[in-house]
Structure formats: structure tokens, C-alpha cells
């Protein structure tokens, strides 16, 4: 009896709820019920039987089919497909396409590429070790000369430890994803070089670009992130934050405001990765880079990366910092773990180049004076503007006004480069993978300064560029 009374009470409640429910609620439920009934009793669809094609029809379809191109069509006159052929070493005087020119294109800042001491060290190593290594560092690819170079680099940079890579581009591109993973946050300057961009892409981290050298914009992003972290403190505790910058920017020739970055680092508790391929062997009294230039304690930087393909006139790159940071790369740096190690002859050449840098500290002041001389001489060229610091060994000349399209700008600047080449000055245009760059820089002519260039040659190059601009642009 109690059970029957309970069921009757539930039925009464259901009827009461039905009368009290809003009209739109009843209509919606009714529509859903009708839709379910329709689905239950509707007929199932049968696929039409496929009719087989005749052999003739198949052949006609095959003949008509045109596959899409694997890559988009590229014009034969594309700059990347038309090389300037160098005969002999790309030293102070270089032979390009059979014509002898003064070299303002190669990144041989300290003139060590053809240095007799460097070549002798490389030749002695070649006789002792052979040409290559045929194995990565963890698999019989570690030679005593590699360990010596790492020790010398750490000592030169005044850090605890250094690690070398066999390819300059892969150095920072491997170092970033070794530390920054999915879910981590990286604040990066929008003018960062392509190697940094590839490292960020491989890390799959959350990337936040700030305006070039704009510390106010960076701090705004850091404040916004701090606010987000306060909303979810548990996630914030396991999220790593990095700032990635260059000492001297490859794409602009500008120096990064490192003292301000250090203040932001400690204020917002982030780590700093510093790419110094252009500033190593250039800035500072002894060529140690931007930290020496500003007088900043190198321990304030979490990781320093640079290639050995500019000032050291070798191949490969290195990272330096605290021992526990560098040791992690030996386990996680993809370019270190999976690439064949640096050929011993190139490691020996880099060691000898370091010896020369240590024995001749005046070389850095000589380079700086020559950079400042040509920077001043290039001012006031009609139609062109100089981009980059006065002490940067790689300057950019950009058009003051665009022709209306990037393609036309590139062609116009190429005519200026060709004009100079025909008069015995070798220059080059800055090249980019246009479809892959995050923030594509404007087209430019790159002017590279080395210690080997004489004052007369610097003045000649500046005068010739003015003449070329007058002839081509006006």
C-alpha cells in the first residue's frame, strides 16, 4: 500500500510540474520528442550501387587528370636561383663571377678567414684527425679538440661551461626547444632572426611578440601575463617564461637595450636567452659581446648563444652559461645529440682564432673605428637610408620610399648592387624566406665591414654607393 501511495504521489508531482512549466519549455520538449520519433521510424538510406567504368572511360579520365604542382612555380630570374660564383677564398679581395672586388659581403669581421696561423692550425688538425667525424657527440664523435674548444670558450666568456654545435643556425634553434616546451611562454622581439623563429616553432611554446626594442611594449605584455597568472596560480607555478633577444640584431643592425631587460627580468621573474652571433667578437673591450659592452654581469643572462661563423671564421656555434644549464643541452639539444660533431680541423681553427682575439685586443677598437667611419660616410645618400648602429659591422641600406611593391623594391636595390659590383665593390642584398618570416623586414642592401678594409676602400665604397643611388634611383 505504501508503494502504491508513493507512485501516486510521484505522478501527482509530474502533472503539477507539467502545468507549472513555461510554454517555451513545453514547445521545445514537444519538438524534441517528435524529432526522436521521426528518427526511429524513418527509412534508412541505401547507397546507390557503384557502376564500374569501362577501360576506355578510365583511360580518358587518366588522360584528362592534371596533378597539382608539388611547389608553386618560380620564375627563372628569381634571385635565389641565380648565384654569384666565388672563386678562391672570400677574403678582403674576392673574385665574384670572374671579377675581382673588394669584399663588403662576407661576415669575416676580424679578417681571420685567410689568417696564416688559423690555416696552419687547421692543416695540422686535418693531418692528425682527418676530415670529418662521422658521428654525433654521444657516439664516438667527441674528440679531445672539442673539449678543448668548449673549455676555451667558457674561459673566454667567463662562464662555467660551454657547448659547441656543428652548425651555426642549429645552435639557437636547438637551444630554445631544449628548455621551452608546450605551455611555456616566450616573449620575443619581432625583429628576431630566422634561426630564433625556427627554435620557437620547434618549442611549440606560447609566443608573444613585442615591438622591436620597445621595452614599454614588452613590459605591458609582462604585466598582462602577470594578471593572467594571478587568475590561475596553479598553472603559473609550472609555466616557464623566457625573453629571447639578440645582442646586435641581424635584420636591423640595432643593439638591444640589455640593462633595461635585466631590470624587467628580475621584476617579472623571467629568464633571458641572448643570441650574440653578430655581437660576439665585435662588442666589448675584449670582444666578449654585449654584456662586456654594457658592463653587465654575465651571470644575469641565463643562456648566451653565438655562431662561430663570423668573427671566428670557422663553422658551427656555441652556447655558454651555468653548468647545470649547459649540461641539459647535452641531453636535449637536438642539433647536438643527432648531428655529426664539428670536424676537428674547424674546432682547431676556432681555438687559434680565440688565441688571436686574446693576443690582439686592439683589433676590436680598429673594427669599431672602421664601422663608425663608413656609417658616417653613408649618411645623406639620396633615396637610401642607413639602418643600424654606428658600431655594427653589418649595416642595412633601405629605400627611403617604396616603389609600391616589394618585388619592385628588390629589383631596384639589385640594380644598385650590380652597379657597385661592376665597379669592383662586392655587396649583397639581405635575403629572407618571405612566406615564413613572422615579421618580414623591408628589402635592403647589407654592407659588411671588416678590419681588413682600408680607410680608402671604405671611402670608395661609400662614394660608389652614392653614385649608384644617384644613377639608379634618381
Structural domain including 127 reads: 116-359
What is the 3 state secondary structure string of the chain?
A: CHHHHHHHHHHHHHHHHHHHCCHHHHHHHHHHHHHHHHHHHCCCCCCCCCCCCCHHHHHHHHHHCCCCCCCCCCCCCCHHHCCCCEECCCCCEEEECCEEEEECCCCCCCCCCCCHHHHHHHHHHHHHHCCCCCCCCCCCCCCHHHHHHHHHHHHHHCCCEEEEECCHHHHHHHHHHHHCCCCCEEEEECCCCHHHHHHHHHHCCEEEEECCCCHHHHHHHHHHHHHHHHHCHHHHHHCCEEEEEECECCCCCCECCHHHHHHHHHHHCCEEEEECCCCCCCCCCCCCCHHHHHCCCHHHCCEEEEECCCCCCCCCEEEEECHHHHHHHHHHCHHHHHCCCCCHHHHHHHHHHHHHHHHCCHHHHHHHHHHHHHHHHCCCCCCEEEECCCCCCEEEEEECCCCCCHHHHHHHHHHHHHHHHHCCEECEECCCCCCCCCCCCCCCEEEECCCCCCHHHHHHHHHHHHHHHHHHHC
Residue 384 lies in a domain: no
CATH of the domain at 248: 3.40.640.10
Number of domains composing the chain? 1
Q: Using CA atoms, how far apart are residues 242 and 181, in angstroms rounded to an integer?
A: 11
* Residue in this structure with the C-alpha cell 677564398, named with its chain if needed: 89
* Structure confidence at residue 115 (pLDDT): 92
Residue 298 lies in a domain: yes
Cell numbers for 17, please give them: 510540474
* Structure confidence at residue 42 (pLDDT): 74
* Structure confidence at residue 16 (pLDDT): 73
| pTM for this model (two decimals) | 0.83
Residue 54 lies in a domain: no
* Structure confidence at residue 50 (pLDDT): 58
CA–centroid distance for 159 within its chain: 24
Spans of the chain below 50 pLDDT: none
* Structure confidence at residue 3 (pLDDT): 54
Residue 435 lies in a domain: no
List all residues 6 or more positions away from 444 whose beta carbon is below 8 Å from its beta carbon: 387, 396, 397, 398, 413, 429, 430
Residue 8 lies in a domain: no
Residue 206 lies in a domain: yes
* Structure confidence at residue 318 (pLDDT): 95
* Structure confidence at residue 11 (pLDDT): 67
Residue 129 lies in a domain: yes
Residue 257 lies in a domain: yes
* Structure confidence at residue 428 (pLDDT): 92
* Structure confidence at residue 56 (pLDDT): 86
* Structure confidence at residue 263 (pLDDT): 95
Amino acid at each position: 500500500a505504501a508503494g502504491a501511495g508513493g507512485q501516486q504521489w510521484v505522478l501527482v508531482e509530474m502533472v503539477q510540474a507539467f502545468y507549472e512549466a513555461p510554454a517555451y519549455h513545453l514547445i521545445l520538449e514537444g519538438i524534441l520528442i517528435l524529432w526522436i520519433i521521426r528518427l526511429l521510424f524513418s527509412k534508412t538510406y541505401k547507397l546507390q550501387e557503384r557502376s564500374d567504368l569501362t577501360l576506355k572511360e578510365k583511360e580518358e579520365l587518366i588522360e584528362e587528370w592534371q596533378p597539382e604542382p608539388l611547389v608553386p612555380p618560380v620564375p627563372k630570374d628569381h634571385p635565389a636561383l641565380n648565384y654569384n660564383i666565388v672563386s678562391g677564398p672570400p677574403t678582403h679581395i674576392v673574385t665574384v663571377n670572374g671579377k675581382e672586388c673588394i669584399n663588403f659581403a662576407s661576415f669575416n669581421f676580424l679578417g681571420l678567414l685567410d689568417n696564416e696561423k688559423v690555416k696552419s692550425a687547421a692543416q695540422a688538425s686535418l693531418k692528425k684527425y682527418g676530415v670529418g667525424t662521422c658521428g654525433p657527440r654521444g657516439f664516438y664523435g667527441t674528440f679531445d679538440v672539442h673539449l678543448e674548444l668548449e673549455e676555451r670558450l667558457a674561459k673566454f666568456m667567463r662562464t662555467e661551461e660551454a657547448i659547441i654545435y656543428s652548425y651555426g643556425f642549429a645552435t639557437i634553434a636547438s637551444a630554445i626547444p631544449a628548455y621551452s616546451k608546450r605551455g611555456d611562454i616566450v616573449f620575443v622581439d619581432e625583429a628576431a632572426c630566422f634561426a630564433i623563429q625556427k627554435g620557437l616553432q620547434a618549442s611549440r611554446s606560447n609566443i608573444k611578440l613585442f615591438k622591436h626594442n620597445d621595452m614599454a611594449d614588452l613590459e605591458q605584455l609582462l604585466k598582462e601575463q602577470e594578471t593572467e597568472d594571478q587568475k590561475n596560480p596553479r598553472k603559473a607555478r609550472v609555466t616557464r617564461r623566457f625573453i629571447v633577444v639578440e645582442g646586435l640584431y641581424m635584420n636591423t643592425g640595432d643593439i638591444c637595450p640589455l640593462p633595461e631587460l635585466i631590470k624587467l627580468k628580475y621584476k617579472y621573474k623571467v629568464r633571458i636567452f641572448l643570441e650574440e652571433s653578430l655581437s660576439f667578437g665585435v662588442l666589448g673591450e675584449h670582444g666578449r659581446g654585449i654584456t662586456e659592452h654594457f658592463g653587465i654581469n654575465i651571470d644575469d643572462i641565463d643562456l648566451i648563444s653565438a655562431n662561430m661563423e663570423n668573427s671566428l671564421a670557422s663553422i658551427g656555434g656555441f652556447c655558454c652559461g651555468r653548468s647545470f644549464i649547459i649540461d641539459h643541452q647535452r641531453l636535449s639539444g637536438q642539433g647536438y645529440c643527432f648531428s655529426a660533431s664539428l670536424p676537428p680541423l674547424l674546432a682547431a681553427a676556432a681555438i687559434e682564432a680565440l688565441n688571436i682575439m686574446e693576443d690582439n685586443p686592439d683589433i676590436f677598437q680598429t673594427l669599431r673605428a672602421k664601422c663608425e667611419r663608413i656609417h658616417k660616410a653613408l649618411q645623406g645618400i639620396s633615396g637610401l637610408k642607413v639602418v643600424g648602429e654606428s658600431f655594427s659591422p653589418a649595416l642595412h641600406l633601405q629605400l627611403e620610399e617604396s616603389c609600391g611593391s616589394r618585388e619592385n623594391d628588390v629589383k631596384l636595390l639589385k640594380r644598385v648592387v650590380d652597379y657597385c659590383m661592376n665597379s669592383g665593390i662586392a655587396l649583397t642584398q639581405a635575403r629572407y624566406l618571405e612566406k615564413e618570416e613572422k615579421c618580414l623586414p623591408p628589402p635592403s642592401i647589407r654592407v659588411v665591414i671588416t678590419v681588413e678594409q682600408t680607410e680608402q676602400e671604405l671611402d670608395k665604397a661609400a662614394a660608389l654607393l652614392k653614385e649608384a643611388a644617384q644613377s639608379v634611383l634618381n
